[in-house]
Amino acid sequence: MLLQRDAQGQPIAIRREDYAAPAFWIDTVDLTFDLDPAKTRVLNRMQLRRNPDAPAQPLRLDGDELNLARVLVNGQGASFRMEGDQLVLDGLPSAEEGAFELEIFTTCCPIKNTKLMGLFVSEDTFFTQCEAEGFRRITYFLDRPDVMAMYTVTLRANKAAYPVLLSNGNLVEQGELPEGRHFAKWVDPFRKPCYLFALVAGKLVAREQRITARNGKEHLLQVYVRAGDLDKTEHAMNSLVNSVLWDEARFGLPLDLDRFMIVATSDFNMGAMENKGLNIFNTKYVLANQATATDADYSNIESVVGHEYFHNWSGDRVTCRDWFQLSLKEGLTVFRDQEFSQDLCADASARAVKRIEDVRVLRTAQFPEDAGPMAHPVRPDSYIEISNFYTVTIYEKGAEVVRMMQTLVGRKGFEKGITLYFERHDGQAVTCDDFAQAIADANPDSELSRLLPQFKRWYSQAGTPRLAAHGVYDAQNRSYTLSIVQSCPPTPGQATKEPFVIPVNIGLLDASGRELPMQLEGEERITHGTRTLVLSRAGEQITFVGLDAEPVPSILRGFSAPVILDFEYTDAQLLTLLANDPDPFNRWEAGQRLGLRAALQGIAALATDITPVLNDAYIDAMRSVLRNPKLDAAFKELVLTLPSETYIAEQLDVVDPQRVHLVRDAMRAQLASALFSDWQQVYEENHDTGAYTPDPTSSGRRALAGMALNFLCLAARSSGDTVWPGKTLQRFKDAGNMTDRFNALNALVSSGHTLAAQALARFHAIFKDEALVIDKWFSLQAGAPDRGGDILPLVKQLMKHPDFSIKNPNRARSVIFSYCSANPGAFHRPDAAGYVFWSERVIELDAINPQVAARLARALDRWSKLAEPYRSAAREAIARVAAKPDLSKDTHEVVTRALAGN
C-alpha cells in the first residue's frame, strides 16, 4: 500500500497523462497451482525481456496479500526488495542479453478472500476474478492490460473434492496424482493480459452443445453449474448459441476457440466476466427456468451472455492499453449486446421497446452520475481506485457514443469500421482514439470523418449536454425555423465545455399527426420520414420550408444522442406526438413528458392536498393507449409507467424526496381509480399467455397484465374492494411461471394488502432452496412502499433472518441496496435513521468487500440537491464514513468526492 499513498497516508490518484509503456514485456507465463482452500501454492515461471523502447528501470511487480517464498532468475536465487506491495528486482539482464526466466513461488489463502478479487472459494468451488487488478492477488506480476503473454496453466487438486479443473484455452493433458489428487493442463492459444486469466475448480456439471460455424469449424459450448441447477441452463445455452451466430452474421467475427465455457458462481461482485474462453458469471445471469426466473431475468441473461461473448473480440482479441480506455471495450460491448438483443426481436415494435428500456437506464442512472460528484468523462483523466470506474458512464454512455458513430456513418459504414478496427488492431492493447480513428478511416466521406477531433469530445468532456430548442413559424414564408443552443454544465475538474457533435434525428408532423415531407432552406431535395441533422456549433438555426402551418417537431427520435432536450411543447403537441408519432421512441417520450410535467406541477404546488395531479386530457390519452389495438402490450406498459422518483428528482434544483414520493404515489392512485374498468379489461385480455416462452410478445402481455393487477390492488386499497386482492392471491398460488407469480405477489405487497403476509410466507416456503428466488423475496420487502416509517425496521429484521448473509453480494444487494438505492420514499427519512443505517452498512461492508461497499456508498451521491433536513443529515452521514480510519481506497474515493466542493 505504501506506494499508493501520499505523505498524509491518503491514496494517490493515477493519471492518464502519466501513461508510460512498461519497462519489461512478459512473453510466456507457466503457472502451476496446488489448490487448497486454506493455503494454495502458486508457482509462476515467466519469460521476460526488457522493453527496448523504455528507459532502463528495475522490474516492479505488483502483488497483494501474497506470501512470498522464493524468487529465482534463470534458475538462480536472486536479490530482490519489497517496496510497499511491489516486488522490485534490480540487475536483471540487459536488452542485448535478451530474454530471461523469472520464477516466483507464493501462497495465498482463498478461503479468507472475502473481497472476491483474485482466487476465492464459493460454495466449495475455486473461482478467480482478475479484472481489473485481481491477478496481483494470485501471483507477482506486471498487472496492467498492455502486458500480454501466452499462458500455460497446470491445476492440481484433490480429485474427490475438485473433480472439474478448468482454465483458459484448450485442455492438453490430464491425469492422476498420488494421494487422491489429479491434475489438468490448459494452454491458451492467444496472448492475453493477465486480467483475462481464470481458473475454476470444484464439483460442477455442464450442459454441452456442439455448433458448426459458417466456415464448417466445430466448437464445443459448455455451461457449468452445480449439480442441482442443470435444469436452469437451457436459456443461457440458447443465448450463447445465438451470440455466436449473431457476431458472425452481423460483424463477421467468428468464435476463435475450440471450446467456449461459461461457469456460474453465486458469490460475485458484478454481473459476469469475459475471461478468454472461460467466462465466469454471477448465477443471476445464467440460471433460469420458468418456475424460478422472471421475463426480466430471461432478458438480462440473454444480454449478459451476449455481452461476455462479444468481449471475446471487443476486449479479448483487442484489449485496452490502460484502464482509462475501459470504455473502449465496455462501451463498444454494451452497444454490441444492445444491438444483439434488438436484432433478435421479431419486429420493429419489440426493437423500440428494447431501445426505450436502454434509454431509461441511461437517464435514471447515468444522467444523475454525470450531474453528481462522481461525474467523469467516458475516458477518465484520473482515478484512485479503478473498480469505482466500472460505471454507467463508461458502459451505457460509452455505448451511446458508439451508437452515435453508427448514426453518423450508417449501419453498413459502421460494419466496415468494425472490420477495419479488428484488422488493424488484432492482438493489440489500444486506445479509444484508435477505435474512433478506425471507424472514421473506413468512412472517409462521412460526417464523423469530417468532424472527428470534435466528435471525440464525447470521450474527454463529462456532463450531460443540454439542447435548448425553440421553433418559430413564419406564415408568410411558409417556413419553420428551429433554433438549437447546446450547453453542458460544469463537472468536477471541468469548468467549461466546448461544443459537442450531436446527431439529432428529426421528423415533422402536422397538427393532426400526419408526417410531413421535409425540405431544408437552400436544398432541392425533399425527404420523407426521419432526417439526421448534425449539430456542431454552440448555436444553430435550421429552417424548414414549404409548410402550410406550424408543424409539431419530433426531435431526437430514437434518442439519437445522450442529451437533455428542452423544447416548450404545448400539451396539445405532446398529445399529438403520443397519439401519432411514427417514431415509437418519441411517442413514448411524449407520454413521459406529460407525466413529468404533471409531477413537477404537483411538487411545486403549495397545497398539501395535491390531488388530482393528472388532468383529464392525460387520463384520456392513457386510456386511448390502453385501448389501442395497434399497440403492443409491452409498449403500452412502458407508456403507462410514470417517470421514476429518481428521474423526477433529477429535474429539480432542490429535492424533497418525501414530496416527490407523495406526488408520484398520488399519480399512481389516480391512474388506478380513473382507469379501473380499463385495468380490469386489460387484465382479462392479457393474463393468459399460454405455455411459457420468454419472447417479447408474451412477456409484454405478462408485464401489462402484471401492471393491471398492481393498479387493481391499489384501487382496492382505497375503495375497500376485496375481490381483486382475492383474485390476486389466487393468481399468486396458481401461477405457472415466476413472472406471473412474482407480479401477483408484488401487487399484494406494494398495495400493502393484509393478504401480502401469507403470500410472502408461502413464497419463502416454496423457494427456500432457490437462492436467486430468495433474493427476490428479500428485495421485494426491502423495496416496498413505506407506510409510516415501517420499512427501515423491516430491513433490520430481514438482516437477522437466517437466510441473510452480508458476505454474499447478491444477498447484500437484495436487502441493503434495495432499501438504500432503490426505495427513496423509505430511505430519505426526516429522522435521518435511513442515512445512519447506510453509514453503518458502508463501514461494515468495507471491511468485508470494498467493491460492494463503494457501490453502496454511491447511494448518497446526490445529497447536495436534497432539501433540509435531509441535506445536512446526509452530509453528516457521509462525513462519518469518511472519518473512519483504514477505509479502503474504493470507499475513500467515493465519499471524499461526495464531500468535495460542498
Contacts to ligand TRP from residues 177-196, by CB under 6 A: none
Grid coordinates representing 470?
Answer: 425553440
- The nearer residue to Zn ion, 333 or 699, going by C-beta atoms, is 333
Backbone torsions φ then ψ of 502, nearest 5 degrees? -125, 110
Contacts to Zn ion from residues 321-340, by CB under 5 A: 330, 333
Q: Which residue type occupies 512? A: S
CB of 845 to Zn ion, least distance (A): 23
CB of 283 to ligand TRP, least distance (A): 13
575 DSSP assignment: H
Bridge partners, 203 (sequence order): none
With 0-12 CB in 10 A as exposed, 13-18 as middle and 19+ as buried, what is 883? exposed
Interface residue with ligand TRP, options 273, 439, 575, 898 (CB under 6 A): 273
- 269's contact among ligand TRP, Zn ion, none, with CB below 5 to 8 A by partner kind, is ligand TRP
Interface residue with ligand TRP, options 269, 283, 312, 443 (CB under 6 A): 269
Residue 556 near ligand TRP by CB under 6 A:
no
Interface residue with ligand TRP, options 274, 295, 589, 770 (CB under 6 A): 274
Q: Cα–Cα distance between 142 and 761 in angstroms, integer? A: 52
CB of 197 to ligand TRP, least distance (A): 13
**Stretch 194-223: interaction string toward ligand TRP, x if CB under 6 A:** ------------------------------
CB of 311 to Zn ion, least distance (A): 6
Contact of 315 with 276, CB cutoff 8 Å: no
CB of 749 to Zn ion, least distance (A): 33
Q: Cα–Cα distance between 693 and 802 in angstroms, integer? A: 34
Q: Cα–Cα distance between 427 and 464 in angstroms, integer? A: 34
**Stretch 342-381: interaction string toward ligand TRP, x if CB under 6 A:** ----------------------------------------
CB of 199 to Zn ion, least distance (A): 20
Only one of the segments 247-255, 270-278, 369-377, 680-688 lies at the binding site for ligand TRP (rule: CB under 6 A); that segment is 270-278
Bridge partners, 152 (sequence order): 30, 187
Burial 287-307 (b: 16+ CB within 10 A, else e): bbbbbbbbbebbbbbbbbbbb
Q: Cα–Cα distance between 508 and 554 in angstroms, integer? A: 6
- The nearer residue to ligand TRP, 455 or 817, going by C-beta atoms, is 817
42 DSSP assignment: E
Residue 250's nearest CA partner among 130, 171, 160, 340 is 340
Interface residue with ligand TRP, options 285, 309, 367, 390 (CB under 6 A): 390
Interface residue with ligand TRP, options 308, 369, 678, 893 (CB under 6 A): 308
Interface residue with ligand TRP, options 146, 330, 581, 893 (CB under 6 A): 330
Only one of the segments 105-113, 266-274, 493-501, 625-633 lies at the binding site for ligand TRP (rule: CB under 6 A); that segment is 266-274
Contact of 692 with 288, CB cutoff 8 Å: no
Alpha carbon distance, N-terminus to C-terminus of the chain? 29
CB of 386 to ligand TRP, least distance (A): 9
Burial 484-511 (b: 16+ CB within 10 A, else e): bbbebbebeebeebebbbbbbbbbbbbe
- The nearer residue to ligand TRP, 237 or 273, going by C-beta atoms, is 273
Report DSSP letters for 850-873, one per residue: HHHHHHHHGGGTTGGGBPTTHHHH
Residue 272 near ligand TRP by CB under 6 A:
yes
Contacts to Zn ion from residues 757-776, by CB under 5 A: none
Neighbours of 282 (CB within 10 A): 21
Residue 278 near ligand TRP by CB under 6 A:
no
Backbone torsions φ then ψ of 616, nearest 5 degrees? -60, -35
Q: Which residue type occupies 185? A: K
Q: Cα–Cα distance between 781 and 596 in angstroms, integer? A: 27
- The nearer residue to ligand TRP, 323 or 480, going by C-beta atoms, is 323
Residue 270 near ligand TRP by CB under 6 A:
yes
**How many chain residues touch ligand TRP (CB under 6 A)?**
13
**How many chain residues touch Zn ion (CB under 5 A)?**
2
Only one of the segments 57-65, 265-273, 409-417, 520-528 lies at the binding site for ligand TRP (rule: CB under 6 A); that segment is 265-273
Residue 501 near ligand TRP by CB under 6 A:
no
- 270's contact among ligand TRP, Zn ion, none, with CB below 5 to 8 A by partner kind, is ligand TRP
Residue 129 near ligand TRP by CB under 6 A:
yes
Contact of 211 with 241, CB cutoff 8 Å: yes
**Stretch 131-150: interaction string toward ligand TRP, x if CB under 6 A:** xx------------------
- Centroid of chain to Cα 729: 34
- The nearer residue to ligand TRP, 141 or 268, going by C-beta atoms, is 268
CB of 275 to Zn ion, least distance (A): 12
CB of 388 to Zn ion, least distance (A): 16
Contact of 448 with 456, CB cutoff 8 Å: no
- Centroid of chain to Cα 479: 44
Q: Cα–Cα distance between 876 and 709 in angstroms, integer? A: 41
**Stretch 402-421: interaction string toward ligand TRP, x if CB under 6 A:** --------------------
Helix, strand or coil, per DSSP, at residue 705:
helix
Bridge partners, 221 (sequence order): 209, 260
Residue 114's nearest CA partner among 844, 855, 859, 807 is 807
Grid coordinates representing 362?
Answer: 441511461
User: SS3 letters for 317-344?
Assistant: CEEECCHHHHHHHHHHHHHHHHHHHHHC
Q: Cα–Cα distance between 46 and 152 in angstroms, integer? A: 10
Q: Which residues are within 8 A (CB) of 486 and not within 5 positions of it... i.e. 6 or more apart? A: 465, 466, 467, 468, 499, 500, 502, 535, 538, 539, 563
Of the residues 131, 133, 308, 637, only one is catalytic, namely 308
Burial 835-871 (b: 16+ CB within 10 A, else e): bbbbbebbbebbeebbbbbbbbbbbbbbbbbbeeebb
Residue 385 near ligand TRP by CB under 6 A:
no
- The nearer residue to ligand TRP, 131 or 297, going by C-beta atoms, is 131
- 273's contact among Zn ion, ligand TRP, none, with CB below 5 to 8 A by partner kind, is ligand TRP
308 annotated active-site: yes
Only one of the segments 125-133, 438-446, 459-467, 587-595 lies at the binding site for ligand TRP (rule: CB under 6 A); that segment is 125-133
CB of 130 to ligand TRP, least distance (A): 8
- 131's contact among ligand TRP, Zn ion, none, with CB below 5 to 8 A by partner kind, is ligand TRP
- The nearer residue to Zn ion, 308 or 369, going by C-beta atoms, is 308
CB of 395 to Zn ion, least distance (A): 7
Q: Return the residue nearest ligand TRP (CB atom).
A: 270
Residues marked active site are found at 308
Which chain residues interact with ligand TRP by CB under 6 A?
A: 129, 131-132, 268-270, 272-274, 307-308, 330, 390
